[in-house]
Chains A and B, each alone.
Chain A
Amino acid sequence: MSIMEKSRPFPATLPTHKLKSPIIKKESKWRNTLIGIVLPLVILLIWQTLSGLKIISPILFPSPVSIAKEFYDMFLTGELLTHLNISVQRAALGFLLGGSLGLLIGLIVGLKKRAEHIMDPSLQMLRTVPHLAITPLFILWFGFGEVSKVLLIALGAFFPLYVNTFLGVRSVDGKLFDVAKVLEFNRFHQITKLIIPSALPNILLGLRLSLGVAWLGLVVAELMGSSEGIGYMIQDARQFSRTSAVFVGIIIFAVVGKLVDSVVRLLEERLLRWRDSYQG
């Protein structure tokens, strides 16, 4: 370090965080993905063999191949996409409603001690009430329609973002507030240039958790009674003992959930590049 300090002027080319060449990095990224695929692949192979040998019941455990065929058929008839479309819409609407409210109230409660005293105790109490316990009430209030479903999802999505945003705002380094004072940040800049960037790791974590809960809430909402959606599709398939269709529904939930999570993680990677933490 001291040698670098001494030798000036500094060279135009500088050491950046990209120590490894991009090609090597890409290769190892592919390798990491491949490693992740090995375990599910092995399980699928064993499953296929077992059901091919009729060791496990094909009615309870249809073989992966027959599930894939069911998937393909449902895709062709358009059944799958219709249900997926409506489910995604419900989850997105509920998440946007609950998540943005959670973010907003989390910010307000984090910024204002008074708001914390007024709202946080009630919110913490509500937070501990399980989804399923509130479902009957929502059905009584709003019926079986879209409103009760979206609100149920919103309710679930609210809390992770609320709790984590609140936590993020409260863990801003107090020493940086002194800097903001010396630089004469106005209140707006204090929030946009100091508090939100500093709370961003927590906010993004809240976002991920909220999306997860929204997806979970969707299943509860659709299983409680509906005529469309992936949840309904599963329920319907169960009644007709179409086990492979039940599996298709479950797989859809898993894949879409994982996709959404990956998008947020990508966002995290881009927005939190500045972080200097242990990378494993």
Chain B
Amino acid sequence: MGEFVLTIHQLNKTFFTDENRTQALSGINLQVKDNEIITIIGPSGCGKSTLLKIVAGLDLDYDGIVLVGGSQVESPGRDKGFIFQEHRLFPWLTVEKNIAADLDLKDPEVRAKVDRVIELVKLKGFEKSYPKQLSGGMSQRVAIARALIRNPKILLLDEPFGALDAFTRSHLQESLLDIWKENQTTMLLVTHDIDEAIFLANRIVVMDARPGKIKGIIPVELHHPRNRAGVAFMEMRKEVLKVLEYAEETSNSWEI
């Protein structure tokens, strides 16, 4: 178990609302290796975001084992960097101060780290800008830098590019891969975009709704940079769709 950055074993999660109980996640098992990018895809209501919140420690009400770096997740923390769908920057701080947040920018060590991540997310020249002056894509990169400077064991991304336009999104996906190559960051990314899932992942986790469970894990062995229009990519797309459609069929039969 020790070699895995993230280990999820027999994870169950139930939501209780008055008299109803909804099984949100059922028997989730997943192991993530160092330097792996895992994307999670599935129909809405499959609990993929809930799963991510549990790994982040933002939701502690569950049964099962969730280990990050070998120890049980008991609270949110810097070792589990979290990127929300919205950038959630502090509007009163400049880019560099947002990245430093509670760290002291006057400390030369912090300063050097901030400069490095700013370079990494390609925001040089924008250090002194306020969030209101940035585009959506730039803001999201600041959020990523803010997480990276704290050297997380794993970076958790909850539909991070979902609110961006198609061009910015595909550009940020490339940026994320650049960061991954340079920084060797392990990532767990939730998305509803099949192309995004294939483009980024070492493995794609396909989930099924009601109850949320893993339907299949598809390894992606295409070389980077991946050509979204290539034949191999299209084949991959068909494969994911097959598993997904199967997933949606069974979830429909649940509703009937």
Give chain A's interface residues, CB within 8 Å of chain B: 1-2, 4-6, 8-17, 175-176, 178-179, 181-186, 189, 193-194, 197-198, 200, 273-276
Contacts and interface: CB of A to CB of B under 8 A. Distances in A.
B84 A178 contact: yes
A203 to B, nearest CB: 13
Given A182-B80, A184-B76, A275-B91, A5 B137 contact: yes
B133 A197 contact: no
B13 interface: no
Interface stretch (B120-128, B197-205, B238-246): B120-128
Interface string B114-143: 000000001111100111110111100000
Interface residues of B, number: 40
B168 A1 contact: yes
Interface residues of B, dominant DSSP: loop
A274 B91 contact: yes
Contacts of B196: none
B102 A274 contact: no
A13 B75 CA distance: 42
A67 to B, nearest CB: 45
B91 A5 contact: no
A151 to B, nearest CB: 35
Interface residues of A, dominant DSSP: loop
Given A184-B78, A274-B91, A276-B91, A4 B135 contact: yes
Given A1-B135, A2-B168, A13-B125, A182 B77 contact: yes
Contacts of B168: 1-2, 5
B132 A274 contact: yes
A145 B1 CA distance: 78
Given A16-B133, A182-B77, A176 B126 contact: no
Given A10-B126, A14-B126, A194-B90, A183 B150 contact: yes
Nearest to B89: A179
A12 B127 CA distance: 11
Nearest to A175: B88
B90 A197 contact: yes
B137 A14 contact: no
A204 to B, nearest CB: 12
Given A182-B77, A189-B102, A2 B171 contact: yes
Interface string B143-185: 0001100100000000000000101100110000000000000
Nearest to A17: B133
